[in-house]
Amino acid sequence: MRRLLLAGNWKMHLDLRGAIQLAAGLRRELADVADRDVVLFPPFPFLADVADAVEGSSIEVGAQNLHPEPQGAFTGEVSGAILASVGCRWAIVGHSERRDLFGEKDAFLNKKLRAALAAGLKPILCVGEHLEERDAGRAESVVAEQVRGCLDGFGAEDMERVTIAYEPVWAIGTGRTATPQQANEMHGVVRALIGERFGSGVASATRILYGGSVKPSNAKALLAEQEIDGALVGGASLKVEDFVQIVRA
């Protein structure tokens, strides 16, 4: 059975004091949780401080983004090597907000995934369809195209370090959530795609998270589904009590 992974994406929220308080609170409240993995994704400026706040616990820290180049004249960007040097162990790649607001395409995200792996980071690749694509009956084909494009040229050993997050764009920050059955169905589609490309063993071991308005009231039902291996949580990860309930669901 795959070990559950609960990831908190703090996006562009909090200040330094609030980030440290949140991390410390989660460390305290989750000290006895040993049967699942927890990763926090604070804004870039808080990474080292949050890593310090959870040091010695089972909670790990990741970055919300990274640049595909290891170094260079890229003002305002951050490389995987820089992230690893301040305690990062994970990186989110291809979040729908990066795709929609910053125009990031699959080929570019493929480079980011490679950069994350080269820096020793474990990437979480986000895929998902918009509402109009689902309504048009294209949800599966859209997600399949994203998975194939982002993982083009990858080998089975690479895939062993990659986590997938299915996040229907219409359910992110909207209060709407895919039903557990809808989410489980798409997770099954993604797992089948991984199996076709990398083999059944890799597909079985790959963790596929659900992201999209996950909250304490729906986490238990989502995590009970066979194909769902955890959650990428947005707004509900900004409150200790909410995220703790989700982790324990």
Specify the amino acid at residue 100: D
Active site includes 67? no
Among 128, 45, 60, 124, smallest CA distance to 92 is for 124
For CA atoms 151, 233, 6, 49, give the dihedral sign: positive
d(CA 124, CA 112): 11
Assess contact for 198 and 166: CB atoms under 8 A. Answer: no
Torsions phi, psi for 7 (to 5 deg) = -120, 135
Q: Which of 95, 97, 187, 225 is catalytic?
A: 95
Q: How far is CA 95 from CA 98, 104, 110, 198, 221, in A?
A: 5, 9, 13, 23, 23
Active site includes 13? no
Assess contact for 89 and 116: CB atoms under 8 A. Answer: no
105: Cα separation from own chain's centroid: 17
How is 196-232 classified by DSSP, letter by letter?
Answer: HHH-HHHHHH--EEEESS--HHHHHHHHTSTT--EEE
Helix (H, G, I), strand (E, B) or coil at 59: coil
Q: Which of 97, 167, 225, 227 is catalytic?
A: 167
Catalytically active residues, by annotation: 95, 167
